[in-house]
Amino acid sequence: MNIVDNIEKIVQSLSVVNHKVELVAATKTRTIDEVQLAMSSKLIAASGENRVQELLSKYDDSITWDFIGQLQTNKVKYIIDKVRLIHSVDRYSLAKTIDKEAKKNNKVQDVLVQINAGKEESKGGIFLEDIHAFLDEIAYFENIQIRGVMAVVPLDYDDDQLKRTFDKVYAKYSQLKTNTFSYLSMGMSNDYLIAVESGANLIRLGRAIFGQRG
Ligand X SMILES: *Cc1c(COP(=O)(O)O)cnc(C)c1O
Using CB under 6 A as the binding rule, whether residue 189 contacts ligand X is answered as yes
What's the chain's length in residues?
214
Query: Do residues 90 and 124 lie in contact, with contact meaning Cβ atoms separated by under 8 Å?
Result: yes
What separation, in Å, do the N-terminal and C-terminal C-alpha atoms of the chain show?
Answer: 16
Q: Strands, E, within the chain: which ranges?
A: 22-26, 46-49, 65-67, 83-89, 109-116, 144-152, 183-185, 202-205
Nearest to 112 by CA among 24, 43, 41: 24
Of the residues 17, 45, 108, 188, which one makes contact with ligand X according to CB under 6 A: 188
Is 207 a binding residue for ligand X by CB under 6 A? The answer is yes
- Determine, following the binding rule CB under 6 A, whether residue 124 of this chain makes contact with ligand X: no
Binding of ligand X at residue 4 (CB under 6 A)?
Answer: no
- Which part of the chain contacts ligand X (CB under 6 A), choosing from 7-15, 118-126, 156-164, 185-193? 185-193
Within residues 18-37, the interface with ligand X by CB under 6 A covers: 26, 28
Binding of ligand X at residue 184 (CB under 6 A)? no
- What ranges in 83-130 are assigned the alpha helix state H? 92-104
**Contact region for ligand X (CB under 6 A) — 10-18, 95-103, 136-144, 184-192?**
184-192
- Binding residues for ligand X, how many (CB under 6 A)? 13
Q: Is residue 208 involved in binding ligand X (CB under 6 A)?
A: yes
